[in-house]
Structure 1
Amino acid sequence: MRNIHYRKIGIFFTLLFGMITNVYATSPITVTDGYIKASIPGSDITAAYMTISNTGDKAITLQEVSSTISDRIEIHEHSMADGMMRMREVGEITIKAHSKVILQPSGLHLMIFSLKHPMKEKSVIPLTLKFSNKTNINIQLPVYRFK
């Protein structure tokens, strides 16, 4: 019984601190409110969402995202054109000085292709965000079915 209690505490802290980044205190970049959408059975794609803030005095560009779960992660954007919702790869996202960018459903987001295994709810997945100022931020995102 005691081991179950400790396991629950461990899971709680894993999820609680899942958004902690491996960035030095001097970095102007913070990532919050992130999660990955659980994959649909039979599908090998999913999406990731988060808020990226830049407290620095210069714009910073998110140029690449990598992870052990996929060899192909792209930055995408939904947009309306001629009354139809379209999705396209944008390549990179610039976060202006003292500003933030929200990656969310029906907007900017990360598309994760060719998953190496299904994204199951309550998992925690590592991602590395690579920025134009040579900063790499390692984050751990929880997987949710609905949010």
Structure 2
Amino acid sequence: MQGLMLTFLMSLTLLYPALAGEYQAGTLVISDPYTRTTPPMASVGGGFLGITNSADEADRLTGAQVDFADAVEIHEMSMTDGIMKMRKLDQGLEIPAQGRVTLEPGGYHLMFIGLGEALKAGEQHAGTLQFEKAGEVAVVFEVRDITTMQAPPANNAPMHPEAMDTGYMPAQVHDQHPPAETRK
């Protein structure tokens, strides 16, 4: 009986990181991957997580794939002249040696493009992160209810959709916002 109990406890110890939303690939630890609920007609969504690198050399997040979107891009949002701007990181995102990078709303994030359907709270979706050195890491993105999440501070600056680089978005997304000069 003790042997069975010990085996059970050991298996829980090995499973705990995945159950807690933590994944390891070599010297990288990926923690808490999640996305947020989306409205029924949304064609894009965001992905968020933490990446810790315990190696003495940098690695690079170069791409990702998920089971609920046509494409995934790595993006950065930053404040420029009082306006929040978003841009695609064509070269990926460096994970510094002995460092941590957090992908979060209002900063670095994964952009899920071409959502097949609305993301609903409580769902879990498979994904794969691609790293230059660590290779591919399978993760699960938890869908969290956006209405219960607290928004991060944005330096009290307004977000202007017309200032964002949204060239990757389908035409119907662009059509939702008329040009600034036609708005009243």
When normalised by structure 1's length, the TM-score is 0.82
What fraction of aligned residue pairs are identical, expressed as a percent?
27
1:3 is aligned to none
One-letter identity of the residue aligned with 2:143: V
For 1:36-47, list aligned pairs within 5 A. Answer: 36-47=35-46
| Larger-gyration structure (1/2) | 2
Structure 1 contact 20–140 (Cα < 8 Å) conserved: no
Question: Residues of 1 paired with 2:22 and 2:116: CA distance?
Answer: 24
Quote the Cα distance in structure 2 between the aligned partners of 1:143 and 1:44: 16
CA contact (8 A) 1:65 1:129 kept: yes
TM-score, reference length from structure 2: 0.66
Which residue in the other structure is 2:132 paired with?
A: 132
How far off is 1:41 after superposition? 2.4
| Secondary structure at the counterpart of residue 71 of structure 1 | strand
Extract unaligned runs of 5+ from structure 2.
1-14, 150-184
Note if contact 1:60-1:131 (Cα within 8 Å) is conserved in structure 2: yes
CA contact (8 A) 1:53 1:95 kept: yes
Q: Does 1:97 align with 2:84?
A: no
**Higher relative contact order (CA closer than 8 Å, sequence separation 6+):** 1
- CA–CA distance in 1 between the matches of 2:55 and 2:80? 34
- What root-mean-square deviation, in Å, do the aligned CA atoms of Structure 1 and Structure 2 show? 1.8
Query: How much does 1:20 deviate?
Result: 4.1
In the TM superposition, residue 18 of structure 1 has moved relative to its aligned partner by 5.9
For the pair 1:108 / 2:108, whether they are aligned, the reply is yes
Partner of 2:76: 77
- Between the aligned partners of 2:61 and 2:89, the Cα distance in structure 1 is 11
Give the aligned length. Answer: 130
| Aligned-partner Cα distance in 2 for 1:117–1:42 | 8
Q: Structure 1 runs of 4+ off > 3 angstroms?
A: none
